[in-house]
Amino acid sequence: MNAALPEWSESQPIYLNRAASLAHVLNRSIGQVQTLTNSIPPSGLVLLSCFAVQFGMATAKSLFEGLGAMGTAFLCNVIATAFLLGMQHRQLRSLSRNPRDYSVILLLGVSIAGMTLAIYSALDRIPMGLASTLEFVGPLGVALVGSRRLFDLVWVMLAGLGILLLMPALGGAVDPSGIGLALLSGGFWAGYILLSAPASRVFQKGTGLALSMTVASVILMPPGVAQAGTALLNPALLLLSVVAAVLGKVLPYSLEYTALQRMPPRLFGVLVSIEPAIAALVGLAVLHEQLSFRSLTAIVLVITAAMGATLLSQPD
């Protein structure tokens, strides 16, 4: 993989300085974007976030040939971590000194690392729309796991039917390992959702997320470096990774954080539920990934289940 990469050792310091300058400019730009978001309706912020995530994933997928899925996961996570730490530098000065408080950060970091590595590995095997649909089973499961209403079984069955339609054994041509990895990512996503609340209670604003992303970067380092090697320092791949990290992680976090302060969580959940459909559209437009009618039907079923579970869930 690394043999085809261009030689650039002599000009390495120049490229690293340019990358650092670009990171500084982008970090300042994100702060300006956060100011501009005050004039955008919260529903628009959520939709922008969904599109940003999927365009970030599409950009990341284009890096697989040069970095591999694990190398891309590591590099994008490191870049996003650097941005988030920079955005929370003031809060980092007054961190909790209780060692027990950091146990949830460690677990949250493990969830982020597992979710990132699993979904990137899934994207290396199956189309974006299918990966996003299967991954969404995680938050849907969290929404339904505590329910005691028989009617909620409708949403479980709709989501289950959607997943079954994607199974190769039923006539599809989808890589089974890709399906398993996307479902595994959904499981880690569920853990991320459950751990985010206690982390935010201990660490103010986005400090907990920034620290957890740091833990995730450390976990992703060994497989990422082992797979990508010196390609991690290739200037073209590095700059493209910055774009993928900003679109796929930093910008959605900023937009969603602002939106959740101005809209009910239930409406937020409904809007986020259409993300698998956005993934299919972005996959078609950017990566030219064609989906069969069967796959599109499965996506619609999972989206319907997610929306139904959100709209008709109990207030608590």
| Res 119: pLDDT | 95
**Angle 128-135/293-311 helices, nearest 10 degrees?**
30
| Res 312: pLDDT | 67
What is the residue-averaged pLDDT of the chain? 81
Cα dihedral sign, 45-50-55-59: positive
Q: Is the model more confident about 58 or about 161?
A: 58
Q: Is the model more confident about 274 or about 2?
A: 274
What CA–CA distance (Å, rounded) separates 63 from 67?
A: 6
| Res 52: pLDDT | 92
Cα dihedral sign, 170-173-177-183: negative
| Res 173: pLDDT | 66
pTM > 0.85: yes or no: no
What CA–CA distance (Å, rounded) separates 119 from 135?
A: 8
> What percentage of the chain has pLDDT greater than the value 90?
32
Task: Please write the tens of the pLDDT for every residue from 13-48.
Answer: 554 555 556 555 655 665 565 566 666 787 888 888
Q: How confident is the model at residue 220 (pLDDT cuts 50, 70, 90)?
A: very high
Q: How confident is the model at residue 96 (pLDDT cuts 50, 70, 90)?
A: low
| Res 231: pLDDT | 94
User: What are the boundaries of each domain within the chain?
Assistant: 14-311
What CA–CA distance (Å, rounded) separates 168 from 179?
A: 9
| Res 68: pLDDT | 95
Give the count of alpha carbons within 13 A of 165, CB side only: 21
Q: Is the model more confident about 11 or about 206?
A: 206
Q: Which of these ranges, 77-86, 113-122, 140-149, 238-247, has the smallest mean pLDDT?
A: 140-149
Q: How confident is the model at residue 193 (pLDDT cuts 50, 70, 90)?
A: confident
